Structure 1
């Protein structure tokens, strides 16, 4: 797998990294709190899972008009996104619980989305979290062609319209995973990444194919067997479900890294980034809002992305409490803490950034701009 070396440039980077970790640890110790989830997290999981599963059960057991069924598909999409952001995400980061089996159970909710845990761990936990906003290393900004999410990516003529067409395409996110991750896994197998993770490539491929078969048998087969809806009506509901979930998750993810004020970088010739890793996370990530209420609850605290990227092993229910510690420490050492006032300002910032990336050519590839600037 790719290797990047993060090299501190100043003493204050080391001191900031040390102090912010020390102060956050002290918060949990002084308040006698666990870094993992609690009863509120378990209750939340039940509610989120219900938003996804109850409409499906109703659809299978009650005679419904096509319009009511379509509404239930939208609600299922909202629930599916919630499962991914609020349950699976913490489980895969081993932040849901101190117990491995509970984390594994939370992670396994990925199967409800028709996807596998292994691919997500490689793409998200390892590649995205380690190499955040580094072009050609972070797949979240490097792999899309029709949408230019990084200033170092190739600029095409059609990109000047991407601020208009990007948002509808975000709805295809879960479709991309659903139908594309077998190809992604084959690529991981070919590059030896699967074996690097001590996983048998053949077994992992068979497991992924089995997940797909079971998922389609349930999500399409059961409505076809138990309801009077036609196959095409079921397909329409399936599309609505995934477009809803994909639109929500993609938009939330983009508001954390592809907004004004977040750095996008490339490595130098020695595969180095001239920053401490923790400072790099601070420079490439943005929070949005502090009082998003129900929305923050629903998206699993992903509006506190700085906290998540620096302390990904801490359950998201604690992010509001430690955000002030991180912000104060960052400003004390002269680092910018990128905070958008609310969801709408973050969305507007992402829109402007998309427009800018669709019209501005690549910056000169000199070593001076190959590392983030504090």
Structure 2
């Protein structure tokens, strides 16, 4: 149901004293209440549309010159290659050379390795939106390249579910960025559970897909095979 039209924020607030007005007015009309940890047991839901498409239309109407900035940046390919080489290089360093530097390895893995893995996550997002190369196929292979040091096949599943997120943004049961009912019940408002849940959040894309009984796509199957081959190659190169 679309939100009712009002003239001013004051008029709306006068009608709904007990609810908080969405200050994205007038681009987005609606009322919302956020879920407060420690007070609310259930997440908040509303029936209003999401604002991104409206914002896009309004921004382009006011500033059409923004479209001149559209396009892809092939520098991301070189950044991806450098990031992958750095990850594999560190694996070789501690797997073949500094084999007794255990605590140093843990520290480097947490700081440098964690930062590089975050960079890979950003690259996944860029290739998903075809921002790394001219064609969709080329972008997919940028994603596969970035997946080499990640051990598990993430690139193509991220692409699939992130695009579904944009298609069904905010729609429960369809937007894969929203937690499923069992996640809500399991994690609830427990800060410790939330901490560990966030650590494995990337894997939750796969978990939600399995929970919703979604079949793996052709590219996801390719990603699994590619990752298996890369993992075996890294194991042989860098050692156990």
Query: Structure 1-normalised TM-score?
Result: 0.41
How far off is 1:166 after superposition?
0.9
Distance in 1 of aligned mates of 2:234 and 2:153: 13
- C-alpha distance in structure 2 between counterparts of 1:24 and 1:52, whole Å: 41
SS at match of 1:188: coil
Q: For 1:246-325, list aligned pairs within 5 A.
A: none
Contiguous gaps of at least 5 residues in structure 2: 6-25, 28-52
Match of 1:159 among 188, 195, 210: 188
Q: Does 1:132 align with 2:160?
A: no
Number of matched pairs: 192
Q: TM-score, normalised by structure 2?
A: 0.60
Hey, what does 2:84 align to over in structure 1? 49
How far has the Cα of 1:98 moved from its partner? 3.1
Higher relative contact order at CA 8 Å, sep ≥6: structure 1 or structure 2?
Answer: 1
Residues 164 and 89 of structure 1, relative CA distance in 2, 3 Å threshold: same
Q: In structure 1, which of residues 122, 126, 151 is the aligned counterpart of residue 160 of structure 2?
A: 122
Larger Rg: 2
**Where does residue 141 of structure 2 map in the other structure?**
105
Please, which of 213, 236, 243 is the counterpart of residue 228 of structure 2?
Answer: 213
Deviation at 1:45, TM superposition (A): 3.8
Q: Is the 8 A contact 1:91 1:104 kept in 2?
A: yes
The 3-state SS of whatever aligns with 1:187 is: coil
Contact 1:94 1:100 in 2 (8 A): yes
- Is 1:187 equivalent to 2:213 in the alignment? yes
Structure-1 separation of matches of 2:65 and 2:92: 46
CA distance in 1, matches of 2:82, 2:213: 37
What is the aligned-residue RMSD (CA, Å)?
3.9
1:223–1:44: structure 2 CA closer, same or farther, 3 Å change rule?
closer
SS of the residue corresponding to residue 109 of structure 2 reads helix
**Partner SS, residue 228 of structure 2:** helix
* Native 8 Å contact 1:36 1:96 kept in 2: yes
Going from structure 1 to structure 2, the CA distance change for 1:95 and 1:7 (only over 3 Å counts) comes to: farther
The aligned residue for residue 200 of structure 2 is 172
- Aligned equivalent of 1:288: none
1:140 positional shift: 1.9
1 CA distance for matches of 2:146 and 2:175?
21
Q: 1:137 to 1:174 in 2, by over 3 A?
A: closer
Unaligned runs of 5+ in 1: 1-5, 149-154, 226-374
